[in-house]
Amino acid sequence: MSAAKKPTLAVVGATGAVGTVMLGILSERADVWGEIRLIASPRSAGRKLTVRGEQVEVIALSEEAFEGVDIAMFDVPDEVSAQWAPIAAAKGAVAVDNSGAFRMDPDVPLVVPEVNAHAARVRPRGIISNPNCTTLSMIVALGALHAEFGLSELIVSSYQAVSGSGKEGIDTLRDQVAKVAGTDLGSQPGDVRRAVGDLGPYPAPIAFNVVPFAGSLKEDGWSSEELKVRNESRKILGLPDLRVTATCVRVPVITTHSLTVHARFENEVTVAGAHEILSTAPGVVLCDNPAEGEFPTPADVVGTDPTWVGRVRRSLDDPKALELFVCGDNLRKGAALNTAQIAEVVAAELAAA
Ligand SMILES: NC(=O)c1ccc[n+]([C@@H]2O[C@H](COP(=O)([O-])OP(=O)(O)OC[C@H]3O[C@@H](n4cnc5c(N)ncnc54)[C@H](OP(=O)(O)O)[C@@H]3O)[C@@H](O)[C@H]2O)c1
């Protein structure tokens, strides 16, 4: 790419839940891009979507679609990324992948710009991975605390929004709420289950319920989401032996994941020290005044970019541990925003080359 030319960006999966938010983010952020090419499945070819205030026609995914592309974002299912990100890379693009296909590949960096932007420069396969939305919803705040206190253990529970399951999750919650809202169902076992009928992508009703399972079942009863939180936190923070225990729960929220976090450190911590770090860390907002009812909730955080942190307490039994409540928009920082930030880091690198 010549230094004068602005890079060409491809958004693969432009019609999906993450892709839709991506187009909004690309329209809001400083415009570093030349052409923005929108790609999806053949089902969507010919549709027109708005980006940067202009209507752009969606084209079907193909090898030719990557002709002249400098950076290709992938917001598509794992199997589509697994097949097509290497093709984009072979065509000369840097692929920034939002799926789970490459996250734990040792030759693919897993990047959160506020925590490990340097890792994006070393990409032997021409692919950079974006972490999963649950890890991303907490890791910016934890990275800042780790830099000061040295993290030694994490115990987290997630409260995950349905948009984390894509359009199908959103449609399922809306449909189930419409069936149950206004009824007096909920006082007898099974009555919500009978009323909602179709469970969509979930193993239990998601309307008026919480579901203590997210992802697929892995060894020894762990879910894929729980293992992602463990493995990806370790990789991003560069702490391969970090003790991490996660329990992932799906809740009837459309967008914004929340987590309770028990974070143990090498050194003693204070709430005042944690407040100081969290109130100045880039990408973090401290919202912690319970006496005034001030703490983050998904209803207030949705549509915003930062990681919001509240309910900061020092563990009553352990002077080295903090308890936190963290919220992050899973479609923005948890997916599209982080991908856009990575792409901007690469664009700046290409421009400087
Ligand atoms: N939702 C989240 O919170 C979140 C967070 C982080 C990461 N992610 C990851 O981001 C990716 C996208 O998730 P999503 O929630 O946006 O999913 P989604 O709403 O189901 O959208 C999927 C997108 O992929 C496209 N697609 C599907 N099959 C294709 C194919 N064979 N060829 C070309 N395009 C194809 C779809 O195009 P059509 O419209 O044409 O079918 C659509 O644009 C997934 O890997 C997901 O795990 C999601």
Q: 74-121 pLDDT, tens per residue?
A: 999 999 999 999 999 999 999 999 999 999 999 999 999 999 999 999
CB atoms inside a 10 Å sphere around CB 54 = 10
Ligand 1 centroid – CA 27 distance (Å): 20
Q: What is the DSSP string of 201-232?
A: TSSS--TT--BS--S-B-GGG-BHHHHHHHHH
Say which residue the tokens 């002249």 belong to: 68
- pLDDT grade, residue 353 (50/70/90)? confident
Which ligand 1 atom lies nearest to the CA of residue 40?
34
Mutate to test the pocket of ligand 1, among 41, 48, 79 (most ligand atoms within 8 A of CB): 41
Active site residue 133: yes
The yes-or-no verdict on residue 2 having pLDDT over 90 is no
Active site residue 257: yes
Pull the structure tokens for residue 156: 């987290």
Nearest to 327 by CA among 286, 273, 269, 275: 286
Pull the structure tokens for residue 82: 């697994």
pLDDT in tens, 266-317: 999 999 999 999 999 999 999 999 999 999 999 999 999 999 999 999 999 9
Minimum CA distance residue for ligand 1 atom 43: 13
Q: Which of 133, 248, 287, 327 is catalytic?
A: 133
Minimum CA distance residue for ligand 1 atom 28: 41
Tell whether ligand 1 has an atom less than 6 A from the beta carbon of residue 341.
Answer: no
Sign of CA dihedral 311, 275, 131, 267: negative
Per the CB < 8 A criterion, the answer to whether 78 and 97 are in contact is no
Residues of each annotated binding site: 15-18, 43-44, 103, 160, 163-164, 250, 330
| pLDDT for the residue 340 | 97
Distance CA 40, CA 45 (A): 7
Chain centroid to Cα 174, Å, comes to 22
Q: Are strands 284-286 and 151-160 parallel, antiparallel or unpaired?
A: unpaired
Amino acid at the residue 36: I
Distance CA 263, CA 126 (A): 34
pTM here is 0.94
Cα angle at 75 between 74 and 81, to 5 degrees?
A: 50
Which ligand 1 atom lies nearest to the CA of residue 15?
43
Per the CB < 8 A criterion, the answer to whether 245 and 154 are in contact is yes
